[in-house]
Structure 1
Amino acid sequence: MYTRYARRLAAFAALLALPLAAACESDPNEPEIAERLVVVVNSTENSLSLVPQEGGDVVQTRKVQLGAQGSPVGVAALGQWAVVPLGTYPFAAVVNLRTSSVTSTVALPANSGATGVDFVNDSIAVVANPGRNSVSPVNVLRGTAGAEVAVGTYPQAVVSDGARVYVINANLVNFTPAGPGSVTVLDDRLRFVQTVQLTGVNPGAAEIVGNRLYVLNSGTFGGNDGSLSVVNLQTLAEEARYTGFGDFPSSLAAAPNGELYVGIYGTGIVVWNPSTTSFRIGLNDPIEPGNQTVISGLGFDSSGRLHVTNARSCVAADPGFVYRLTSSGATDRSVQVGVCAFGLAFADVPESDD
């Protein structure tokens, strides 16, 4: 998440100076950052919780209701905008984070099943339609969707570096793996480039680190066969796959040092080092944020801190939490959010031009 987020900064002029702030003076023409947010999707509540990245357990959070229908599990954010695919409801909600409001609910193709999403530039987000084996571009400024683009079978995640879009195809039929997954590579205008065949089953998350795309394969439920595929972005081919990632790993985030943090629902977080191709923290002693093992989402903010969502039991009487962790893996903060806290994203919201 951190590496992908850093690439997005290059597409958003307001944030270009951040990585060099210690060495360079900021551009006076760039807008100031009004607030830095953790944007959390509350799935069964169909809402977003906007949580300040700074502060302790008691912080002022805001909630954005996404509508009466939907089953969201993911979100992408860039600048003042967030896009939330609404799952069983074939729409994507476009949220203005500055005003904490839904500015448009964009219609997607019927039976979309909208899930994964990522920004390809500062106005276009790409939403996966697993029910139609396609993706749709959503213009956050206009509140419209463009023509769908065919990809592989059951796309359920999207990752973009600004130059290309990588669509992670799970190859599910009736929600059951029909064989190994694949990655559909599109350019920044959503034109087909290539299909990368994977050897892993049920890929559902991915991160870009350097010139590699790391794809997390959830495997079969109860099969204890989670794995990690490594795709070379120069040759556009899977060059390796590593096993031992437990039972149905579902979330993946890249740390600033390139290590990969893997969330395994019901187990905790393991840490894999791509340089040594081994676990630094393995299944025998996983990280348990807040002494909890229900890991529903995780990611690194622009300051390199890990945030983790815990969905808990997904009933109204048992709301979810988002934790912030120290570099040692200790829980630094616990903030209550909405019901069934799932995916999360990070936003550096610029001040208004007004």
Structure 2
Amino acid sequence: MRLLLSIFLLLSLHIQAQPVKVAVAGISHGHSGWILGRANKGDIELAGIYEPDTALIRQTVRRYKLPEKLFYTNLNTMLDAVKPEAVLAFGSVYSHLEVVEACAPRGIHVMVEKPMATTLAQALRMDSLATKHNIRLLTNYETSWYPSVAKTFQLVQDSAFAGTIRKVVIHDGHQGPKEIGCSPEFLAWLTDPVLNGGGALIDFGCYGANIMTTLMKGQKPLAVTAVTRQYKPSVYPKVDDDATIIVDYADAQCIIQASWNWPFNRKDMEVYGDKGYIFAPDAKTLTTRNSTKNEAQTRKVTAADIKVFEDPFVYLAAVVRGKETIPPYGVYSQENNLMVVRILEAARESARSGKTVEIK
């Protein structure tokens, strides 16, 4: 019995030490370079890449100097050939469901780029498949890696500092995907109302919904009110390029300003409680003040100050290996990102109808 236990422990340790075998499903997303160009750190093994666009495959082989044998033009063929432990979805938001439908029955974990899905029906299907087949389904946001965001969560958890949240204002966006030089392959679906689900409302509104859901510990909003604009219809004729979303809770409110019209890139937030405030103007800066302080204090925050994974693939590997458990309503979690899609769908309907939409 002791011998069997020893063998089991040695086998477990061996598995823990092995790099996580991952595959990529789709590479048309501009963020796919995060994994394609990632230096080999010994924690991730890139085993296969699915992409139906052969011209994009040739371009990617040249750009990242990757072996052609890594690439497949059929998703199921790739999954059966390389048998990855996890798949990273870097295609359109609409394609996320297809990836989960292929991976979940095979027991393959999935990380999709934000947001989780284009519609609530898609998100519910993905959530159901992940739960049924006991896989981890993560949604990746750049702000999930920010030390300033992690520190804000910690300060809010300590109610003595900011008190009860009353208002949160979140700004996300940039000058516009065409203006900043996104590739034609990326623009083709990012500016499509079906493949992306919308424009700036979806692309950047999801960040605020994701962070607010964590701040509110998964509390369901009462209602959502949204207004969208097309300031550049000649550039983005099919989708909105600016959105203001008001998410109302029983005792708090979140104002999300998502835009492809900012004069520069921004991802920042302001959290106001009944005892103080927390401003996070960038990834590593916080300005705080509470009722016991006469002056606001600004400081730098780094990953060394607070536990945060600044590399999403390191986090994914830790989750797959069982070293990390995704907390309920954590920024990567299924629960959180299902709520994000609920909020976005309500916002889209509110903008269409001109009415406040209740979250049922």
Give TM-score scaled by structure 1 length. Answer: 0.32
Higher helix share: 2
Higher relative contact order structure (alpha carbons within 8 Å, sequence separation ≥ 6): 2
Higher strand share: 1
